[in-house]
Amino acid sequence: MAAAAKTTAMKPRMKVKAVKLKKQSAMVKKASRVNVVAPKKNEPVKKVRVGILVGKDFDPVKAGTQWPDYPKHLSLTEEEWGKYSIDAATALRMKQLHPDLLEVDIISGKDITQQRLQKNHVNLNFWYDVGVAMLNGNKKHIDEVLKCHQNPDCRLDPSWDYYDWVLKKPRYMKQCMKAGIPMIPTVIYENGFDPKKCMEDVQKQGWDKFFVKVGHFTFFGSGAINGNTADFIGHRAKELEAYAKENKNSKTFLVQPYMLKPNGEVFDEVRNFFIDGQWRYSVFTHGTDESDAGYYNEPEGPRKEICKAMAERAYQEVLKSATWQGKRQTPLLNRIDIGVIPKKGGDSLHKTDNTYFLNEVELIMTTWLDRYAPCSVSDVMAQAAIKHTLELLVGLLKSKTSVPDEAHVRKVAMALNDRLGPFKHIMI
Protein backbone atom coordinates (compact mmCIF):
# COMPACT_ATOMS: atom_id res chain seq x y z
CA MET A 1 0.00 0.00 0.00
CA ALA A 2 1.11 3.56 -0.58
CA ALA A 3 -0.13 4.64 2.85
CA ALA A 4 -0.90 2.58 5.93
CA ALA A 5 0.69 -0.83 6.42
CA LYS A 6 -2.06 -2.93 4.90
CA THR A 7 -1.86 -6.32 3.25
CA THR A 8 -3.25 -7.16 -0.19
CA ALA A 9 -6.05 -9.35 1.13
CA MET A 10 -3.54 -12.10 1.75
CA LYS A 11 -3.85 -14.66 4.53
CA PRO A 12 -1.59 -14.97 6.42
CA ARG A 13 0.52 -11.79 6.31
CA MET A 14 3.93 -12.05 4.72
CA LYS A 15 6.94 -9.84 5.38
CA VAL A 16 10.12 -9.80 3.37
CA LYS A 17 13.21 -7.66 3.21
CA ALA A 18 13.77 -5.61 0.10
CA VAL A 19 16.32 -7.25 -2.16
CA LYS A 20 18.77 -5.36 -4.31
CA LEU A 21 18.01 -5.60 -8.01
CA LYS A 22 20.78 -4.72 -10.41
CA LYS A 23 19.96 -2.44 -13.27
CA GLN A 24 19.67 -4.52 -16.37
CA SER A 25 18.14 -2.10 -18.80
CA ALA A 26 20.79 -3.10 -21.32
CA MET A 27 18.95 -6.37 -21.67
CA VAL A 28 15.99 -4.62 -23.27
CA LYS A 29 17.00 -5.05 -26.87
CA LYS A 30 15.42 -5.44 -30.25
CA ALA A 31 14.64 -9.00 -31.22
CA SER A 32 15.99 -10.30 -34.49
CA ARG A 33 13.79 -10.84 -37.52
CA VAL A 34 13.46 -14.31 -39.03
CA ASN A 35 12.46 -15.49 -42.46
CA VAL A 36 8.80 -16.47 -42.73
CA VAL A 37 8.21 -19.98 -44.05
CA ALA A 38 4.63 -20.55 -45.22
CA PRO A 39 2.94 -23.82 -44.21
CA LYS A 40 2.92 -26.45 -46.90
CA LYS A 41 -0.37 -27.23 -48.62
CA ASN A 42 -2.62 -29.43 -46.44
CA GLU A 43 -0.10 -29.17 -43.59
CA PRO A 44 -1.96 -28.97 -40.24
CA VAL A 45 -1.64 -25.59 -38.59
CA LYS A 46 0.52 -25.64 -35.48
CA LYS A 47 -1.18 -24.56 -32.29
CA VAL A 48 -0.15 -21.30 -30.71
CA ARG A 49 1.50 -21.86 -27.34
CA VAL A 50 0.34 -19.53 -24.57
CA GLY A 51 2.29 -19.54 -21.31
CA ILE A 52 0.47 -18.61 -18.09
CA LEU A 53 2.60 -17.72 -15.06
CA VAL A 54 0.94 -18.78 -11.80
CA GLY A 55 1.90 -19.41 -8.19
CA LYS A 56 -0.66 -18.11 -5.67
CA ASP A 57 -1.35 -20.06 -2.51
CA PHE A 58 -4.18 -17.68 -1.57
CA ASP A 59 -6.88 -15.66 -3.42
CA PRO A 60 -9.28 -18.61 -3.90
CA VAL A 61 -12.14 -19.10 -6.33
CA LYS A 62 -15.66 -19.31 -4.96
CA ALA A 63 -16.11 -22.48 -2.92
CA GLY A 64 -16.98 -25.45 -5.12
CA THR A 65 -16.34 -23.70 -8.46
CA GLN A 66 -12.84 -25.09 -9.12
CA TRP A 67 -12.27 -27.42 -12.09
CA PRO A 68 -13.31 -31.00 -11.11
CA ASP A 69 -9.95 -32.49 -12.15
CA TYR A 70 -7.84 -29.78 -10.54
CA PRO A 71 -4.19 -30.91 -10.83
CA LYS A 72 -2.61 -31.60 -7.46
CA HIS A 73 0.65 -29.86 -8.37
CA LEU A 74 -1.22 -26.58 -8.80
CA SER A 75 -2.52 -26.70 -5.22
CA LEU A 76 0.30 -25.05 -3.30
CA THR A 77 -1.38 -25.44 0.09
CA GLU A 78 -3.98 -27.64 1.77
CA GLU A 79 -5.51 -24.57 3.40
CA GLU A 80 -9.01 -23.89 2.12
CA TRP A 81 -8.11 -20.24 1.59
CA GLY A 82 -5.60 -21.00 -1.14
CA LYS A 83 -5.94 -24.59 -2.33
CA TYR A 84 -7.81 -23.58 -5.49
CA SER A 85 -6.33 -20.22 -6.42
CA ILE A 86 -7.82 -17.93 -9.02
CA ASP A 87 -4.70 -17.72 -11.21
CA ALA A 88 -4.38 -21.46 -11.78
CA ALA A 89 -8.17 -21.88 -11.98
CA THR A 90 -8.31 -19.32 -14.79
CA ALA A 91 -5.47 -20.99 -16.67
CA LEU A 92 -7.28 -24.34 -16.41
CA ARG A 93 -10.43 -22.73 -17.77
CA MET A 94 -8.43 -21.34 -20.70
CA LYS A 95 -7.33 -24.88 -21.55
CA GLN A 96 -10.96 -25.75 -22.30
CA LEU A 97 -11.35 -22.91 -24.80
CA HIS A 98 -10.23 -23.35 -28.42
CA PRO A 99 -8.02 -26.41 -27.76
CA ASP A 100 -7.65 -26.93 -31.52
CA LEU A 101 -5.91 -23.57 -31.87
CA LEU A 102 -4.24 -22.91 -28.52
CA GLU A 103 -1.99 -24.91 -26.25
CA VAL A 104 -1.89 -23.48 -22.73
CA ASP A 105 1.38 -23.95 -20.86
CA ILE A 106 0.80 -23.40 -17.11
CA ILE A 107 4.13 -22.34 -15.57
CA SER A 108 4.80 -22.43 -11.83
CA GLY A 109 7.23 -19.99 -10.24
CA LYS A 110 10.19 -22.35 -9.89
CA ASP A 111 9.95 -23.24 -13.58
CA ILE A 112 10.08 -19.69 -14.91
CA THR A 113 13.15 -19.24 -17.12
CA GLN A 114 13.90 -17.36 -20.31
CA GLN A 115 14.29 -20.68 -22.10
CA ARG A 116 10.84 -21.88 -21.02
CA LEU A 117 9.11 -18.64 -21.94
CA GLN A 118 10.78 -18.43 -25.34
CA LYS A 119 9.24 -21.78 -26.27
CA ASN A 120 5.83 -20.09 -26.16
CA HIS A 121 4.49 -17.62 -28.68
CA VAL A 122 3.20 -15.32 -25.91
CA ASN A 123 3.19 -15.48 -22.11
CA LEU A 124 0.69 -13.92 -19.71
CA ASN A 125 1.74 -13.23 -16.15
CA PHE A 126 -1.12 -13.89 -13.73
CA TRP A 127 1.02 -13.74 -10.59
CA TYR A 128 4.70 -14.68 -10.48
CA ASP A 129 6.77 -11.56 -11.02
CA VAL A 130 10.04 -10.17 -9.64
CA GLY A 131 8.41 -9.15 -6.37
CA VAL A 132 7.17 -12.69 -5.79
CA ALA A 133 10.57 -14.10 -6.75
CA MET A 134 12.08 -11.91 -4.05
CA LEU A 135 10.13 -13.92 -1.47
CA ASN A 136 12.24 -16.88 -2.55
CA GLY A 137 15.43 -15.11 -1.56
CA ASN A 138 17.49 -16.88 -4.24
CA LYS A 139 19.46 -14.20 -6.07
CA LYS A 140 20.01 -16.37 -9.16
CA HIS A 141 16.27 -17.03 -9.41
CA ILE A 142 15.42 -13.35 -8.86
CA ASP A 143 17.83 -12.28 -11.60
CA GLU A 144 16.42 -14.85 -14.02
CA VAL A 145 12.83 -13.71 -13.42
CA LEU A 146 13.91 -10.10 -13.89
CA LYS A 147 15.54 -11.02 -17.21
CA CYS A 148 12.31 -12.71 -18.28
CA HIS A 149 10.53 -9.38 -17.77
CA GLN A 150 13.17 -7.33 -19.56
CA ASN A 151 13.97 -9.61 -22.49
CA PRO A 152 11.47 -8.94 -25.33
CA ASP A 153 12.23 -12.37 -26.81
CA CYS A 154 10.38 -13.84 -23.81
CA ARG A 155 7.22 -12.14 -25.12
CA LEU A 156 5.91 -11.68 -21.58
CA ASP A 157 2.87 -9.54 -20.81
CA PRO A 158 2.84 -7.15 -18.96
CA SER A 159 5.90 -5.90 -20.82
CA TRP A 160 8.77 -4.25 -19.01
CA ASP A 161 8.20 -0.49 -19.27
CA TYR A 162 4.51 -0.67 -18.36
CA TYR A 163 5.33 -3.16 -15.58
CA ASP A 164 7.94 -0.78 -14.15
CA TRP A 165 5.57 2.21 -14.52
CA VAL A 166 3.32 0.58 -11.95
CA LEU A 167 5.93 -1.14 -9.75
CA LYS A 168 8.00 2.03 -9.38
CA LYS A 169 5.20 3.91 -7.67
CA PRO A 170 6.40 7.50 -8.18
CA ARG A 171 6.02 7.00 -11.94
CA TYR A 172 2.27 6.51 -11.86
CA MET A 173 1.77 8.69 -8.77
CA LYS A 174 3.31 11.76 -10.42
CA GLN A 175 1.27 11.21 -13.57
CA CYS A 176 -1.98 10.86 -11.62
CA MET A 177 -1.18 13.91 -9.47
CA LYS A 178 -0.57 15.93 -12.63
CA ALA A 179 -3.97 14.76 -13.89
CA GLY A 180 -5.58 16.21 -10.74
CA ILE A 181 -6.55 12.89 -9.16
CA PRO A 182 -6.75 13.20 -5.34
CA MET A 183 -3.95 11.32 -3.55
CA ILE A 184 -2.40 11.22 -0.09
CA PRO A 185 0.19 14.01 0.34
CA THR A 186 3.51 12.34 -0.40
CA VAL A 187 7.20 13.17 -0.10
CA ILE A 188 9.13 11.11 -2.64
CA TYR A 189 12.78 10.11 -2.33
CA GLU A 190 14.46 8.58 -5.37
CA ASN A 191 18.06 8.44 -4.24
CA GLY A 192 17.89 6.46 -1.02
CA PHE A 193 16.52 7.12 2.47
CA ASP A 194 18.09 9.65 4.85
CA PRO A 195 16.51 9.57 8.36
CA LYS A 196 17.53 13.16 9.12
CA LYS A 197 16.05 14.47 5.87
CA CYS A 198 12.89 12.43 6.47
CA MET A 199 12.32 13.94 9.92
CA GLU A 200 12.94 17.45 8.58
CA ASP A 201 10.33 16.89 5.85
CA VAL A 202 7.80 15.31 8.20
CA GLN A 203 8.04 18.20 10.67
CA LYS A 204 7.85 20.71 7.81
CA GLN A 205 4.61 19.05 6.68
CA GLY A 206 3.26 19.16 10.24
CA TRP A 207 2.42 15.43 10.39
CA ASP A 208 1.88 14.03 13.91
CA LYS A 209 2.15 10.47 12.60
CA PHE A 210 3.80 9.30 9.40
CA PHE A 211 4.43 6.24 7.28
CA VAL A 212 7.48 5.32 5.18
CA LYS A 213 7.59 2.61 2.54
CA VAL A 214 9.97 1.39 -0.14
CA GLY A 215 8.42 2.52 -3.42
CA HIS A 216 9.83 -0.01 -5.89
CA PHE A 217 9.65 -3.82 -6.04
CA THR A 218 8.00 -4.41 -2.69
CA PHE A 219 4.61 -5.51 -1.39
CA PHE A 220 2.80 -7.26 1.51
CA GLY A 221 3.85 -4.49 3.89
CA SER A 222 7.58 -5.11 3.48
CA GLY A 223 10.09 -2.26 3.70
CA ALA A 224 7.76 -0.12 5.82
CA ILE A 225 7.83 1.70 9.15
CA ASN A 226 5.36 4.05 10.84
CA GLY A 227 4.69 5.81 14.11
CA ASN A 228 4.40 9.09 15.99
CA THR A 229 6.67 11.88 14.84
CA ALA A 230 7.56 12.78 18.43
CA ASP A 231 8.67 9.19 19.09
CA PHE A 232 11.04 9.20 16.11
CA ILE A 233 12.49 12.50 17.28
CA GLY A 234 13.03 10.87 20.66
CA HIS A 235 13.38 7.23 21.74
CA ARG A 236 12.66 5.69 18.29
CA ALA A 237 15.34 7.68 16.44
CA LYS A 238 17.63 4.65 16.27
CA GLU A 239 14.81 2.57 14.72
CA LEU A 240 14.66 4.97 11.78
CA GLU A 241 18.42 4.69 11.38
CA ALA A 242 18.16 0.88 11.48
CA TYR A 243 15.39 1.05 8.86
CA ALA A 244 17.68 3.03 6.59
CA LYS A 245 20.43 0.41 6.94
CA GLU A 246 18.02 -2.50 6.35
CA ASN A 247 16.83 -0.88 3.12
CA LYS A 248 20.15 0.58 1.95
CA ASN A 249 19.88 -1.23 -1.38
CA SER A 250 16.60 0.51 -2.23
CA LYS A 251 16.54 3.92 -3.88
CA THR A 252 12.84 4.82 -3.95
CA PHE A 253 10.83 5.69 -0.82
CA LEU A 254 7.44 7.24 -0.09
CA VAL A 255 6.76 9.29 3.06
CA GLN A 256 3.12 10.06 3.89
CA PRO A 257 0.93 11.05 6.83
CA TYR A 258 -0.47 8.01 8.61
CA MET A 259 -4.09 8.04 7.45
CA LEU A 260 -6.68 7.00 10.05
CA LYS A 261 -10.45 7.11 10.32
CA PRO A 262 -11.98 9.26 13.09
CA ASN A 263 -12.35 6.11 15.21
CA GLY A 264 -8.58 5.53 15.08
CA GLU A 265 -8.62 2.62 12.61
CA VAL A 266 -6.68 2.49 9.34
CA PHE A 267 -8.70 3.75 6.38
CA ASP A 268 -10.82 1.40 4.25
CA GLU A 269 -10.62 0.80 0.50
CA VAL A 270 -12.91 0.06 -2.40
CA ARG A 271 -10.93 -2.00 -4.90
CA ASN A 272 -12.05 -1.52 -8.49
CA PHE A 273 -11.32 -4.17 -11.12
CA PHE A 274 -10.91 -3.38 -14.81
CA ILE A 275 -10.87 -6.30 -17.26
CA ASP A 276 -10.21 -5.87 -20.98
CA GLY A 277 -10.59 -2.12 -20.77
CA GLN A 278 -13.84 -2.05 -18.80
CA TRP A 279 -14.76 -1.58 -15.16
CA ARG A 280 -16.23 -4.94 -14.07
CA TYR A 281 -16.71 -5.03 -10.27
CA SER A 282 -15.57 -3.56 -6.97
CA VAL A 283 -14.90 -5.06 -3.55
CA PHE A 284 -14.90 -3.26 -0.20
CA THR A 285 -11.93 -4.07 2.05
CA HIS A 286 -11.88 -3.01 5.69
CA GLY A 287 -8.74 -1.31 6.95
CA THR A 288 -8.22 -3.63 9.93
CA ASP A 289 -10.74 -6.51 9.76
CA GLU A 290 -9.10 -9.22 7.65
CA SER A 291 -11.84 -11.78 8.25
CA ASP A 292 -14.52 -12.46 5.62
CA ALA A 293 -16.65 -9.85 7.37
CA GLY A 294 -14.15 -7.22 6.27
CA TYR A 295 -14.53 -8.02 2.57
CA TYR A 296 -17.68 -7.85 0.47
CA ASN A 297 -19.02 -6.97 -2.97
CA GLU A 298 -19.41 -3.20 -2.92
CA PRO A 299 -23.16 -2.41 -2.77
CA GLU A 300 -24.89 0.23 -4.85
CA GLY A 301 -24.77 3.71 -3.39
CA PRO A 302 -22.82 6.97 -3.35
CA ARG A 303 -19.59 5.34 -2.11
CA LYS A 304 -19.53 2.87 -5.00
CA GLU A 305 -20.28 5.52 -7.61
CA ILE A 306 -17.67 7.99 -6.35
CA CYS A 307 -14.99 5.29 -6.06
CA LYS A 308 -15.81 3.97 -9.53
CA ALA A 309 -15.61 7.46 -11.05
CA MET A 310 -12.25 8.18 -9.40
CA ALA A 311 -10.89 4.76 -10.41
CA GLU A 312 -11.95 5.39 -14.01
CA ARG A 313 -10.01 8.67 -14.01
CA ALA A 314 -6.91 6.82 -12.81
CA TYR A 315 -7.51 4.08 -15.36
CA GLN A 316 -7.29 6.62 -18.17
CA GLU A 317 -3.72 7.29 -17.04
CA VAL A 318 -3.05 3.54 -17.07
CA LEU A 319 -4.26 3.34 -20.67
CA LYS A 320 -1.86 6.12 -21.65
CA SER A 321 1.09 4.16 -20.28
CA ALA A 322 0.30 0.49 -20.96
CA THR A 323 2.33 -0.96 -23.84
CA TRP A 324 3.16 -4.25 -25.53
CA GLN A 325 6.32 -4.53 -27.61
CA GLY A 326 6.53 -0.73 -27.67
CA LYS A 327 2.94 -0.13 -28.83
CA ARG A 328 -0.13 0.92 -26.85
CA GLN A 329 -2.06 -2.07 -25.51
CA THR A 330 -5.10 -2.28 -23.25
CA PRO A 331 -4.11 -4.30 -20.16
CA LEU A 332 -5.85 -7.57 -19.40
CA LEU A 333 -6.58 -6.64 -15.77
CA ASN A 334 -5.92 -3.76 -13.40
CA ARG A 335 -6.99 -3.17 -9.83
CA ILE A 336 -7.33 0.43 -8.69
CA ASP A 337 -7.74 0.98 -4.95
CA ILE A 338 -9.61 4.03 -3.69
CA GLY A 339 -9.09 4.98 -0.04
CA VAL A 340 -12.15 5.99 1.97
CA ILE A 341 -12.31 7.91 5.26
CA PRO A 342 -15.70 8.81 6.80
CA LYS A 343 -16.23 12.24 8.33
CA LYS A 344 -17.32 10.66 11.61
CA GLY A 345 -16.77 7.27 13.25
CA GLY A 346 -15.67 4.28 11.21
CA ASP A 347 -18.55 3.49 8.82
CA SER A 348 -18.50 5.08 5.36
CA LEU A 349 -21.29 3.07 3.68
CA HIS A 350 -24.05 5.20 2.13
CA LYS A 351 -22.45 8.39 3.50
CA THR A 352 -22.24 11.47 1.30
CA ASP A 353 -19.46 13.27 3.17
CA ASN A 354 -16.61 10.75 2.96
CA THR A 355 -13.08 11.70 1.89
CA TYR A 356 -11.78 9.72 -1.12
CA PHE A 357 -8.31 9.38 -2.64
CA LEU A 358 -6.39 7.15 -5.05
CA ASN A 359 -4.30 4.85 -2.88
CA GLU A 360 -2.81 2.37 -5.33
CA VAL A 361 -2.71 1.15 -8.91
CA GLU A 362 -2.12 -2.59 -9.28
CA LEU A 363 -1.08 -4.73 -12.21
CA ILE A 364 -2.72 -8.05 -13.04
CA MET A 365 -0.34 -9.68 -10.53
CA THR A 366 -2.53 -8.90 -7.54
CA THR A 367 -5.49 -10.37 -5.66
CA TRP A 368 -8.60 -10.68 -7.84
CA LEU A 369 -10.94 -11.39 -4.89
CA ASP A 370 -13.24 -13.80 -6.71
CA ARG A 371 -14.79 -14.86 -3.38
CA TYR A 372 -16.46 -11.47 -3.12
CA ALA A 373 -17.09 -10.68 -6.80
CA PRO A 374 -20.61 -10.75 -8.32
CA CYS A 375 -19.40 -12.91 -11.23
CA SER A 376 -17.20 -15.93 -11.86
CA VAL A 377 -13.88 -14.14 -12.25
CA SER A 378 -12.14 -17.22 -13.65
CA ASP A 379 -14.74 -17.49 -16.44
CA VAL A 380 -14.62 -13.78 -17.25
CA MET A 381 -10.84 -13.70 -17.14
CA ALA A 382 -10.39 -16.85 -19.23
CA GLN A 383 -12.52 -15.41 -22.02
CA ALA A 384 -10.79 -12.03 -21.78
CA ALA A 385 -7.35 -13.67 -21.73
CA ILE A 386 -8.07 -15.46 -25.02
CA LYS A 387 -9.02 -12.15 -26.66
CA HIS A 388 -5.97 -10.52 -25.07
CA THR A 389 -3.76 -13.29 -26.46
CA LEU A 390 -5.17 -12.60 -29.92
CA GLU A 391 -4.34 -8.89 -29.56
CA LEU A 392 -0.80 -9.67 -28.46
CA LEU A 393 -0.29 -12.06 -31.37
CA VAL A 394 -1.50 -9.46 -33.84
CA GLY A 395 0.79 -6.91 -32.21
CA LEU A 396 3.74 -9.26 -32.69
CA LEU A 397 2.82 -9.92 -36.30
CA LYS A 398 2.74 -6.19 -37.01
CA SER A 399 6.02 -5.52 -35.23
CA LYS A 400 9.58 -6.02 -36.43
CA THR A 401 10.30 -8.65 -33.79
CA SER A 402 10.85 -12.34 -34.29
CA VAL A 403 7.67 -14.43 -34.30
CA PRO A 404 8.28 -18.19 -34.13
CA ASP A 405 6.20 -20.14 -36.69
CA GLU A 406 4.97 -16.83 -38.04
CA ALA A 407 2.89 -18.19 -40.91
CA HIS A 408 1.12 -20.65 -38.58
CA VAL A 409 0.60 -17.93 -35.96
CA ARG A 410 -1.00 -15.72 -38.59
CA LYS A 411 -3.43 -18.50 -39.57
CA VAL A 412 -4.34 -19.16 -35.93
CA ALA A 413 -4.85 -15.45 -35.28
CA MET A 414 -7.16 -15.16 -38.27
CA ALA A 415 -9.19 -18.19 -37.19
CA LEU A 416 -9.40 -16.96 -33.61
CA ASN A 417 -10.50 -13.50 -34.72
CA ASP A 418 -13.25 -15.02 -36.85
CA ARG A 419 -14.50 -17.03 -33.87
CA LEU A 420 -14.36 -14.28 -31.27
CA GLY A 421 -15.35 -11.33 -33.43
CA PRO A 422 -14.32 -10.43 -35.90
CA PHE A 423 -13.07 -7.30 -34.12
CA LYS A 424 -12.86 -4.00 -35.98
CA HIS A 425 -9.65 -3.00 -34.20
CA ILE A 426 -7.85 -6.19 -35.23
CA MET A 427 -6.39 -6.17 -38.73
CA ILE A 428 -4.37 -9.23 -39.78
Position 5 pLDDT exceeds 70: no
| The pTM of the whole model exceeds 0.95 | no
Position 8 pLDDT exceeds 70: no
- The domain made up of 185-257 has a fold known as Dna Ligase; domain 1 (3.30.1490)
Q: Which CATH class for the 265-372 domain?
A: alpha beta
Paired sense of beta strands 327-328 and 323-324, if any: antiparallel
Q: What percent of the chain is predicted at pLDDT more than 70? A: 89
Domains 185-257 and 265-372 share a fold: no
pLDDT at 22: 46
The predicted model gives 129-146 an average pLDDT of: 92
In 21-138, DSSP assigns E strands to 48-53, 102-107, 122-125
CA-closest candidate to residue 393, choices 22, 10, 48, 11: 48
Q: What percent of the chain is predicted at pLDDT more than 90? A: 82
Q: What is the pLDDT of residues 317-350, one digit of tens each?
A: 999 999 998 899 999 999 999 999 999 999 999 9
Neighbouring residues of 33: CB distance < 8 A, sequence distance ≥ 6: 400, 401, 402
pLDDT at 40: 64
Mean pLDDT of the chain: 90
Position 310 pLDDT exceeds 80: yes
pLDDT at 38: 60
**Residues found in the chain:** 428
pLDDT at 17: 41
Angstrom distances, CA of residue 1 to CA of 88, 254, 297, 361: 25, 10, 20, 9
Distance CA 82, CA 67 (A): 14
Paired sense of beta strands 295-297 and 102-107, if any: unpaired
Name the residue ranges covered by the structural domains of the chain: 44-165+378-420, 185-257, 265-372
Half-sphere exposure of 421 (CA within 13 A, CB side): 18
Neighbouring residues of 155: CB distance < 8 A, sequence distance ≥ 6: 117, 118, 120, 121, 122, 123, 325, 392, 396
Q: What is the pLDDT of residues 20-77, one digit of tens each?
A: 444 444 444 444 444 555 666 667 789 999 999 999 999 999 999 998 899 999 999 9
Instruction: Produce one character per residue of 293-312: b if its CB has 16 or more CB atoms within 10 Å, e if not.
Output: eebeebeeeebbebbbebbe
The predicted model gives 387-392 an average pLDDT of: 98
pLDDT at 221: 60
